[in-house]
């Protein structure tokens, strides 16, 4: 005896629903795995930047100074005497300490420095500040050290805080002041739209500290759209 047509249709609908559910779960599982892989690579990039900055400090700062990219095209010149955290990180590329341009891009972002073309070879391209796509991370800008020192009540070279602004510019290397560096962020994910990892109400941010470790901050701890330049990340800049 043939089955009623209604039973056949119902069976097909159930089968389709099961297949759709399985496909839906697989899709989100794959997407979750991909995002986790991107996060691991992103944290790996930040660790590379930390190691590179230590090398940069030893080679160009004699272990005592955090030298800014003074004299590089578009950075610390009379035409453009100021620069941001992206330029500070890009100095690692200009000095060939980190020659891989992909290390400056978060795999979860849409940024593309065109295989280093947006980074420039020996300074900012076209004598202008770096584009938003050149570096996916925020770091210390030309006034960052003054903000960091002032917030901790420290002094520069034993002097008064009034001397800080003269050092916290692109014209001079900035002395390394011991203000509990391991607890101080030196770089983090970019807050330029779009957010690197997830969304403002459900995403996260990777934060790199001076001792080289990376912490995973959720949206409950930091504003993913405006976190850079505020709160614990006050002295970081794009």
What pLDDT does residue 170 have? 45
What pLDDT does residue 96 have? 94
Give residue limits of the domains in the chain. Answer: 45-237
Q: How far apart are CA 137 and CA 236, in angstroms?
A: 10
What pLDDT does residue 99 have? 96
Pairing status of strand 214-218 against strand 137-140: unpaired
Pinpoint the alpha helices (H) of the chain: 5-60, 85-94, 144-151, 164-167
What pLDDT does residue 171 have? 46
Question: In the beta sheet, which residues pair with residue 73?
Answer: 123
pTM of the model: 0.78
Q: What is the pLDDT along the chain (238 residues), one digit of tens a residue?
A: 555 655 677 777 777 777 766 666 665 565 666 777 888 899 999 999 999 988 988 887 777 667 777 778 877 666 666 778 899 899 999 999 999 999 999 998 889 999 999 999 988 888 888 888 999 999 987 777 667 766 665 555 554 444 444 444 444 455 555 544 667 888 999 887 788 888 888 889 999 998 889 999 999 999 998 889 888 898 888 8
Q: How far apart are the first and last CA of the chain?
A: 73
Question: In the beta sheet, which residues pair with residue 208?
Answer: 187, 214
């Amino acid at each position: 005896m043939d089955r009623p047509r209604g039973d056949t249709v119902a069976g097909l609908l159930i089968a389709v629903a099961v297949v759709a559910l399985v496909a839906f779960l697989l899709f989100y599982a794959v997407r979750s795995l991909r995002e986790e892989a991107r996060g691991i690579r992103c944290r790996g990039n930040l660790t590379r930047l930390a190691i590179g900055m230590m090398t940069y400090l030893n080679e160009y700062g004699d272990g005592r100074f955090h030298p800014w990219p003074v004299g590089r095209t578009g950075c610390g010149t009379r035409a453009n005497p100021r620069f941001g955290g992206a330029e500070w990180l890009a100095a690692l590329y200009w000095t060939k300490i980190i020659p891989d341009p992909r290390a400056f891009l978060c795999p979860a972002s849409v940024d593309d420095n065109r295989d280093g073309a947006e980074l420039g070879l020996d300074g900012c391209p076209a004598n202008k500040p770096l584009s938003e796509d050149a570096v996916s991370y925020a770091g210390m800008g030309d006034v960052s050290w003054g903000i960091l020192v002032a917030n901790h009540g420290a002094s520069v070279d034993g002097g008064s805080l009034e001397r800080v602004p003269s050092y916290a510019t692109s014209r001079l290397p900035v002395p390394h002041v011991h203000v509990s560096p391991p607890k101080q962020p030196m770089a983090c994910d970019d807050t330029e739209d779009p957010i690197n990892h997830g969304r403002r109400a459900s995403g996260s941010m990777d934060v790199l500290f001076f001792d080289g470790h990376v912490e995973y901050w959720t949206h409950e701890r930091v504003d993913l759209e405006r976190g850079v330049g505020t709160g614990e990340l006050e002295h970081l800049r794009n």
